[in-house]
Structure 1
Amino acid sequence: MNYRRNLYDKRISQEVVGDLLGEEFKGYIFKIMGGCDKQGFPMKQGVLTSGRVRLLLHRGTPCFRGFGRRNGERRRKSVRGCIVSQDLSVINLVIVKKGENDLPGLTDTEKPRMRGPKRASKIKKLFNLGKDDDVRSYVNTYRRTFLNKKGKKVSKAPKIQRLVTPLTLQRKRARIADKKKRIAKKKSEAAEYQKLLAQRLKEQRDRRSESMAKRRSKLSAATKAPAASA
């Protein structure tokens, strides 16, 4: 029996009773999250059709990653509508409510969450820590141990980011002191330059006034000479 027919004409984000898909899914409630057809064109939320359409998409929108495109460039891409039809080869479902029987490989095994937060402030928020508490010991709660390729047992925990330690505070103080030193050096160099510039301008004015005085004395001597001969 083709249970897929029970999903026809349903939309993305619509919930489906698992009894329609088979006896093994009795009691389950699924949610349609998407799908694609035999040619690989994906379904897109908000497109109210059961067939393919060509949409002008920009980078970052669903169904178009846009790698290698210019900033703001849009491309016309083929996508399927959000309504399930017989052309689909894959339909993605999410379990909303668990049923009576376990699904082998899906609900019969529990996988613990291995990845915890890395940022120090988020670790403090997770464990309700204060400002002065050390977060490094709390990361070990989600440290995982496993066997590497050589068969050796190793453990791994995320590296804490933005961790405030005496070394980071020392580096911050050193950066601030270096910045103040650079500012003071620039100010002293600017003051020396202004002083040297004022000195050069004064020397230039003195030379100009001296040359003007010599020129005036030559002109006065030249005007006195014809008067004496007459």
Structure 2
Amino acid sequence: MKRPTLNISFPATGCQKLIEVDDERKLRIFYEKRMATEVAADSLGDEWKGYVVRISGGNDKQGFPMKQGVLTQGRVRLLLSKGHSCYRPRRTGERKRKSVRGCIVDANLSVLNLVIIRKGEKDIPGLTDSTVPRRLGPKRASRIRKLFNLSKEDDVRQYVVRRPLTKEGSISS
């Protein structure tokens, strides 16, 4: 039987780490909790003391994704259309009945996605100690001001992160 896996991300550094859990009793704090619930991660180990994580989703042992708003632990078949999570239509107006998992966590999950909300006392190697540089900067002027702590009078054009534009095989900036 495949062991459950935690997919933990830390948005402040842009890092993400997969952790295989060997003892299922460590996961009991997540059982019966819904997606978007904040949970203290102290029971995962000593290095997780003080950390608070949010449940952001997961997949069950057959690979079906969890869907927010489906208040059940099991699997249901929903008619999904454009704009729904767990489905990408191939044609305009196309709808399809797909199997999805409910948003309540239980023991039948193979992957549980967690996002670190509050950092604890110790650093976790590969997750909170290193940072991954962002590939793309913001486009909107107000978001550029927020990122670089600029006032409304400052010129934003100097701080724009240029994106390389490809035209038929040639690279220009």
- Asked if Structure 1 and Structure 2 have the same fold, meaning a TM-score greater than 0.5 normalized by the shorter chain, the answer is yes
RMSD value over aligned CA atoms? 2.6
- Secondary structure class of the residue paired with 1:20: helix
CA shift at 1:123, angstroms?
7.3
Please give the alpha-carbon distance, in whole angstroms, between the structure 1 residues aligned to 2:107 and 2:98: 21
Call closer, same or farther: CA 1:48–1:109 in 2, change over 3 Å: same
Extract structure 1 runs of 4+ deviating beyond 6 A.
Answer: none
Please give the alpha-carbon distance, in whole angstroms, between the structure 1 residues aligned to 2:156 and 2:43: 53
Aligned residues: 138
Please give the alpha-carbon distance, in whole angstroms, between the structure 2 residues aligned to 1:5 and 1:86: 8
Paired position in structure 1 for 2:57: 34
Residue identity matched to 2:96 = R
Paired position in structure 1 for 2:17: none
Contact 2:54–2:116 under 8 Å retained in 1: yes
TM-score (norm 1): 0.53
Call closer, same or farther: CA 1:128–1:21 in 2, change over 3 Å: same
2:136 is the counterpart of 1:115: yes
Q: For the pair shown, which has the larger CA radius of gyration, 1 or 2?
A: 1
Aligned partner of 1:158 among 140, 146, 163: 163
Contact 2:57–2:114 under 8 Å retained in 1: yes
CA shift at 1:19, angstroms?
0.9
Call closer, same or farther: CA 1:75–1:22 in 2, change over 3 Å: same
2:35 is the counterpart of 1:12: yes
Please give the alpha-carbon distance, in whole angstroms, between the structure 2 residues aligned to 1:134 and 1:54: 49
1:166-225 Cα offsets, whole Å, 9 max, x none, are: xxxxxxxxxxxxxxxxxxxxxxxxxxxxxxxxxxxxxxxxxxxxxxxxxxxxxxxxxxxx
Bigger proportion of residues as helix: 1
Please give the alpha-carbon distance, in whole angstroms, between the structure 2 residues aligned to 1:13 and 1:95: 12
TM-score (norm 2): 0.69
Structure 2 unaligned segments of length 5 or more: list them: 1-22, 166-173
Paired position in structure 2 for 1:215: none
Contact 1:50–1:82 under 8 Å retained in 2: yes
2:62 is the counterpart of 1:57: no
Please give the alpha-carbon distance, in whole angstroms, between the structure 2 residues aligned to 1:79 and 1:124: 35
2:93 is the counterpart of 1:99: no
2:114 is the counterpart of 1:80: no
Higher relative contact order (CA 8 A, sep 6+): 2
- Secondary structure class of the residue paired with 1:102: coil
CA shift at 1:74, angstroms?
1.2
